[in-house]
Amino acid sequence: MPSAMKSPNHYALAGDGIHITYSTTTFAGPPSFTYQDTSKTQTFTGTQIESVVTEAGTLVSVPIFVSIDSGSTSFSVMIPRVDLGSSDSTNIATFGITALHRFGVPSPLGQLDFYTTHQLQGTASSFVFIVDPNLPKP
């Protein structure tokens, strides 16, 4: 009988001057996503992170710039399916997408979303969070 698939819950990826860490769960519970490029570092948690399971993998997106009058920018990463087997970590390669979303009043005509892709490499790991029963509860 085949063993159950051991999936990672933490990803550390980098490429094209971008570094991201994504945890599907944390010690506190909700997911966490940190985006870093040459000019800023941003951390997102819980509902600030959009995650959509597709046939190609899980697409995880966060808003990295929001404007009330000209548009916004998001960053997405495709998280591949990974079976760690008996290991706690493995190397992976995937891609990220920086998307510029145009809008305005009146609405601009033509293409509204523009994409830049980034090759990313790093590790997929599995962490186990153990709660000490002797610690006081929050």
Question: Cβ–Cβ contacts within 10 Å for residue 18, how many?
Answer: 17
Is 10 a residue whose pLDDT tops 90?
yes
Burial classification of residue 134, based on how many CB atoms lie within 10 Å of its CB (0-12 exposed, 13-18 middle, 19 or more buried): exposed
Contact 5, 117 (CB under 8 A): no
Is 1 a residue whose pLDDT tops 50?
no
Is 131 a residue whose pLDDT tops 80?
no
Is 46 a residue whose pLDDT tops 90?
yes
What is the set of domains in the chain, with CATH numbers?
10-125 (2.40.128)
Query: Which of 2-6, 85-89, 107-111 shows the lowest per-residue confidence on average (mean pLDDT)?
Result: 2-6
